[in-house]
Amino acid sequence: MVTDGRTSATLLGFFIFLGLGVLGYLLADAAVTVKSYDRSVTVKGLAEHEYVADVVIWPIQFTAADNDLEALYGRVEANTRTIIDFLEQQGIKGDEITRAIPSITDKSAQQYGQERGAFRYTAVRSVTVYSKRVDAVRSVMGALSELGKKGVVLTGDNYQAKIEYLFTRLNEVKPSMIEEATRNAREVAEKFAADSQSRLGKIRKASQGQFSINDRDKNNPHIKKVRVVSTVEYYLSD
């Protein structure tokens, strides 16, 4: 009876040991498989193109001065009419032109009072062109000096009078640029896989990245550089 008990215990211990050994092998093999399957490479793909802006915002700002407030408003309206007539003669449409409310300054109401020899009232006003005909508007800008010959005092050296160019067709170019960036990313990943003697698998995850729109350079703000970087992670296999 004692011998049979010892034999049974020995067999039980053997089978337990064998089971643990098989389980350990299976777990080790699974760990290797998961580790191999988890191998990946992350790459970035760039797409960059230049496009001409499709909207221009052109503020034409002028100043006027007078000691009589009523006369000043009359001068402002006369200058405004001169500017609008000039623009329309150059082919700018009436619905592309807007006028801002004039800003009036009374120098006698300021802290240090009116400066000797200076006009009491000064006015600043902007007439703005908003157009999708960028080339047509740009061709008019070179003739702006004609307004000076007509007595209009222009002020173009401040932020409010800065010309803006906008590119609003981003949604139209997005699909092709994302496709190009992803294709470039795959080419980089395939080169990495070949160098590491691996095979490129499916995409594990991808991030489109942010689109950026900037002036090509300071002398050509109407030409926009559109750029996107896509980040893609691929699986690798031996």
Assess whether pLDDT exceeds 80 at residue 37: no
Strands (E) across 132-198 are located at 153-154, 164-166
**Domain range annotation of the chain:** 1-38, 40-54+167-238, 55-165
Residue with the two structure tokens 């080790």: 28
Contact assessment for residue 221 and residue 182, using Cβ atoms and an 8 Å cutoff: no
Assess whether pLDDT exceeds 60 at residue 143: yes
Neighbouring residues of 23: CB distance < 8 A, sequence distance ≥ 6 = none
pLDDT digits (tens, 9 = 90+) for 74-128: 999 999 999 999 999 999 999 999 999 999 999 887 656 555 557 899 999 999 9
- What CATH code is assigned to 40-54+167-238? 3.30.110.170
Question: 208: pLDDT confidence band, cut at 50, 70 and 90?
Answer: confident
- End-to-end, the C-alpha distance of the chain in Å comes to 58
Question: 198: pLDDT confidence band, cut at 50, 70 and 90?
Answer: confident
Question: What is the Cα–Cα distance from 140 to 86, expressed in whole angstroms?
Answer: 10
Question: 212: pLDDT confidence band, cut at 50, 70 and 90?
Answer: very high
Count of positions (residues) in the chain: 238
User: Residue 141 has which token pair?
Assistant: 């800008």
- DSSP structure class, residue 100: P
Handedness of CA 109, 62, 73, 93 (dihedral sign): negative
pTM reported for the whole predicted model:
0.75
Q: pLDDT at position 131, please? A: 97
- DSSP structure class, residue 169: -
Superfamily of domain 55-165: Protein of unknown function (DUF541), domain 2 (3.30.70.2970)
Contact assessment for residue 166 and residue 54, using Cβ atoms and an 8 Å cutoff: yes
Q: Which amino acid is at 192?
A: F
Question: What is the Cα–Cα distance from 193 to 196, expressed in whole angstroms?
Answer: 5
Range scoring the smallest mean pLDDT among 25-29, 121-125, 151-155: 25-29
pLDDT digits (tens, 9 = 90+) for 41-80: 899 999 999 999 999 999 999 999 999 999 999 999 999 9
